[in-house]
Amino acid sequence: MRWSEVLRHGDQVVVAVVEVAGALIIFVGALWAALRFVVVGLRHRDAARFTPIRISLGRFLTLGLEFQLAGDILRTAVSPTFVEIGQLAAIATIRTALNFFLRREIAQEQRQVGQAGGGSPP
């Protein structure tokens, strides 16, 4: 096996590990939020109680998307073609926009929780 083949195979393994990590983070966050939603929903009917759950889910989504973007960057790091660079640019733009809006919504939710509760969000 030639050195370039070893690097290419190693790169594929690293990319897969990073992408799986991102998917697991999103899955765990969604599962956690769903379970908290059910528990809180059974105990309380106040919509404000769900805001900390949304904030936490947004954090999981943001972190998971960062890992997914890292996987995409790693995939194109070894001898990329112009097509791959264009795809990366499109994916990076979409994921960056998603992260921007998620972070903005998280910050807004945290401000609302802070104003309503007088304290810091959980």
Tell me the per-residue pLDDT of 107-119, one tens digit each, with 9 for 90 and over: 888 887 777 765 4
Q: Which residue has the tokens 């790091």?
A: 77
- The yes-or-no verdict on residue 3 having pLDDT over 80 is no
List Cβ neighbours of 48 (8 Å cut-off, separation of 6 or more): 113, 116
Residue type, 63: L
CA 77 to chain centre: 21
Among 6-10, 23-27, 82-86, which stretch is predicted with the lowest mean pLDDT? 6-10
pLDDT recorded at residue 73: 86
- The yes-or-no verdict on residue 28 having pLDDT over 50 is yes
- Please state the domain extents for the chain: 3-117
Round to whole Å and give the CA distance between 3 and 80: 17
pLDDT recorded at residue 92: 87
